[in-house]
Amino acid sequence: MRNILPLTGTPLAIDVGLDNAIYVDQIENPVEVLRLIPGAAPTQRWPVTSYVHGDWLLPLPDGRVLMSARVGGRTRLSVTGPAQDPIPFIDTPEETRHPFCLVGKETVAFLIGKSPSAALAIASSSNGNIIRRFDDFKADTIGALAGSPDGNSIYYTSLGTVWKMPAEGGPSERVCAGDGVAVDTEGKYLVVSRIHPDGNRLVRISLTGGEEELLLVAADLKMDWHLAPGAIARDGRIAVKVIPADSWFWQVRIRDPNTGKLEEALQGIPADLQCPSWDADGRLVVAASYIQSCLWRFRPETR
């Protein structure tokens, strides 16, 4: 094996012509954070660097946004804002990563450490100081996290099941089947997503008992199984990520609790819109991941 030529971006496709020229389609995925009121143009937008996972973005109570970033060859939680470059959220040499969620208003739950020995930890949402960690909790199979508004409980999904555990630590109890989970702002119910061969589904699970309620069956469009931990607004609107049949990009739709219909949250953005979450002021925060590509032709040097 030998190096032929350096590249300036990620190659999407490579081919060789009859003249031995090499054709390379190099792509870039610039990302920016958008803050908006659904149906209107973004009120804030700012670029972010080192962004590694569009499915995880969390508005914090103080207006900053928590995200995953790749720094120094490691995945680390970072915080950013309109006038702030991403900076590390946790002061630790260990990897810190998604999934993550607010637990109450003052703490954040997240994963710490490398696979296959990652653990669950809780840190202050204001300064990133680690408050507690559960090293005996095997966290590598966790697919999603959501915290109760009172800060007492953590909900998580693992291998197709939603579980509940005390935020102070203790045994987990099974809640229901599910792949993604979010908690309403008053802690009365869960919205759970389920992967289904006939279209992914959203159901509402009351935390005080009763039958589950089917909210949405995504049969005519592709709905992502992942729910942002802040997917439920104070008025019950639910932000979901979908791909309609006539679109190349992931879009955000809002489920109206009164009509049950899906309304488009944002138009005219040629990007994948990721992880729609509501902030403390009732605005929607999303990550927009753009695609920029350029075709290069490298000709062999003639001597």
pLDDT digit string, tens, across residues 80-95 = 998 888 889 999 999 9
Three-state SS string over the chain comes to CCCCCCCCCEEEEEEECCCCCEEEEEEECCEEEEEECCCCCCCEEEEECCECCCCCEEECCCCCEEEEEEECCEEEEEEEECCEEEEECCCCCCCEEEEEEEECCCEEEEEECCCCCCEEEEEECCCCCEEEEECCCCCCCEEEEEECCCCCEEEEEECCEEEEEECCCCCCEEEEECCEEEECCCCCEEEEEECCCCCCEEEEEECCCCCCEEEEECCCCEECCCCCCCCECCCCCEEEEEECCCCCCCEEEEECCCCCCEEECCCCCCCEEEEEEECCCCCEEEEEECCEEEEEEECCCCC
Contact 104, 110 (CB under 8 A): no
What whole-number distance in Å separates Cα of residue 138 and Cα of residue 116? Answer: 9
53-62, 137-146, 288-297, range with the lowest pLDDT: 53-62
pLDDT at 55: 64
pLDDT at 73: 74
Confidence of residue 50 (pLDDT cuts 50, 70, 90): low
pLDDT digit string, tens, across residues 24-42 = 998 888 889 999 999 888 8
**Environment class of residue 144 by beta-carbon count within 10 Å: exposed (0-12), middle (13-18) or buried (19+)?**
buried
Confidence of residue 77 (pLDDT cuts 50, 70, 90): very high
Is the pLDDT assigned to residue 220 strictly greater than 80? Answer: no
Q: Which whole number is the average pLDDT over 65-85?
A: 85
Can you list the domains of the chain with their CATH numbers?
32-298 (2.120.10.30)
Can you give the pTM of this predicted structure?
0.90
